[in-house]
């Protein structure tokens, strides 16, 4: 009996030891849960996370309007791939990071086709959003730049430049970008939308940038033609370009609201350079503006100039309106003088109203402005109207819901 009792104890001990071993150190790892590697290769990839959108897109991906997307880091569309964003989609960017942006590489495409009834919106996810909460949208193409055969973008680390003036980076239409312009350092800042050598095969129209901490839109070389751009309360320049941009910009409306005081030392309506190191470097920036309005309604911070055309740029501006209300002002109406090279500009059908300052001519300024003190009217409720046919057509921006108010 004693021998049988001891054998039972031994068996029990073995069973306990076996169970304890299984609980503490499983012999096989769990097989459930996502596998994350920082790339989004397909629509069902574990890295495509609605509330944590970031990574390198290495397959054709669609962002559905039915989802509440939160951009939490850099989202880069790699060469050969296409990112499609459905009409009506809202993407909220995590506030406070210089590494939060959307980038489209050379050879990649973005197909962001919003509509007037269902625009695409990029905004901040902050409870109290501010300019500079996140980076912005950066697109790189393959047209020439006068910085050399190729170059690297100021932000996002994209290569750009090439020889294909008809390069196609996709479509950006009926798109709103808010609270952009995160600053990396004194030389590196995001804009609302940055176009690096983007070609004529690309479709860009109906863009609105609100509350940007740097420029509204900027072109670094490129040939793409752009239509209907609204920039509101931009800290630096509303419409900027450099490095040999040759294209047509149609119906641009920029405004700084009354009370706006978040400005750089030298904010301008239009600023265009070609190449400050070599004004003759090709291609020379030769932008054409068709219908452009620059309004400063802020009595706190004057615009440095309505248009600053410099460093070898040869610009044509048809149907321009520079205006102010009350004591708001421009330092200069037009400035073509710069210590790194002057510019030249030709105006036709140019109108001014209010305190727009004198011209600062270093290069050639051709054409004259006429004064029309009825071009801007302010209703008793503060609503502002601009006379039809003078500068840009503001009605083209009804889809944004934005109202001009003094």
Q: Are 309 and 272 in contact (CB under 8 A)?
A: yes
- pLDDT computed for residue 8 by the predictor: 43
- pLDDT computed for residue 80 by the predictor: 98
Mean pLDDT of the chain: 92
Q: Which residues of 106-136 are buried (b: 16+ CB within 10 A; e: fewer)?
A: bbbbbbbbbeeeebbbbbbbeeebebbbbbb
- pLDDT computed for residue 366 by the predictor: 98
With a cut of 50, list the residues of the chain below it in pLDDT: 1-31
- pLDDT computed for residue 21 by the predictor: 44
41-400 has CATH 3.40.50 classification: no
Reported pTM: 0.91
Q: Are 293 and 253 in contact (CB under 8 A)?
A: yes
- pLDDT computed for residue 186 by the predictor: 67
Residue 400 — φ and ψ, nearest 5°? -80, -20
Count of residues in the chain = 406
Instruction: Break the chain into its structural domains and give their ranges.
Output: 41-400
Residue 92 — φ and ψ, nearest 5°? -100, 125
């Amino acid at each position: 009996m004693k021998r049988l009792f001891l054998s039972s104890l031994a068996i029990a001990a073995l069973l306990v030891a076996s169970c304890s071993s299984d609980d503490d150190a499983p012999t096989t790892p769990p097989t459930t849960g996502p596998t994350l590697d920082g790339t989004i290769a397909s629509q069902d990839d574990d890295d495509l996370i609605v509330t944590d959108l970031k990574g390198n897109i290495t397959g054709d991906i669609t962002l559905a309007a039915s989802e509440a997307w939160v951009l939490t880091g850099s989202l880069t569309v790699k060469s050969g791939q296409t990112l499609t964003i459905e009409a009506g989609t809202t993407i909220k960017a995590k506030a406070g990071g210089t590494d939060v942006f959307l980038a489209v590489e050379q050879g990649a495409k973005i197909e962001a086709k919003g509509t007037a009834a269902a625009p695409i919106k990029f905004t901040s996810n902050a409870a109290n959003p501010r300019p500079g909460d996140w980076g912005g949208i950066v697109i790189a193409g393959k047209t020439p730049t006068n910085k050399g055969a190729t170059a690297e973008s100021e932000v996002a680390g994209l290569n750009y430049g090439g020889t294909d003036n008809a390069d196609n980076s996709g479509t950006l239409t009926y798109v709103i970008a808010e609270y952009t312009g995160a600053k990396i350092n004194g030389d590196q800042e995001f804009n609302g939308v940055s176009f690096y050598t983007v070609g004529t095969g690309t479709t860009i129209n109906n863009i609105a940038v609100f509350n940007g901490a740097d420029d509204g839109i900027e072109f670094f070389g490129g040939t793409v033609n752009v239509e209907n751009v609204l920039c509101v309360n931009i800290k630096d320049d509303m419409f900027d370009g450099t490095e040999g941009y040759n294209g047509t910009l149609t119906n641009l409306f920029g405004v700084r609201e009354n009370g706006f005081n978040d400005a750089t030392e030298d904010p301008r309506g239009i600023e265009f350079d070609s190449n400050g190191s070599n004004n003759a470097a090709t291609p020379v920036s030769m932008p054409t503006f068709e219908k452009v309005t620059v309004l400063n309604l802020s009595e706190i911070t004057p615009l440095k100039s309505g248009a600053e055309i410099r460093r070898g740029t040869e610009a044509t501006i048809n149907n321009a309106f520079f205006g102010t209300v009350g004591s708001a002002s421009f330092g200069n109406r037009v400035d073509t003088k710069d210590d790194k090279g002057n510019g030249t500009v030709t105006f036709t059908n140019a109108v001014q109203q209010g305190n727009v300052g004198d011209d600062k001519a270093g290069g050639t300024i051709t054409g004259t402005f006429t004064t029309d003190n009825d071009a801007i009217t302010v209703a008793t409720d503060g609503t502002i109207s601009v006379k039809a046919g003078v500068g840009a057509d503001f009605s083209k921006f009804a889809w944004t819901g934005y109202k001009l108010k003094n």
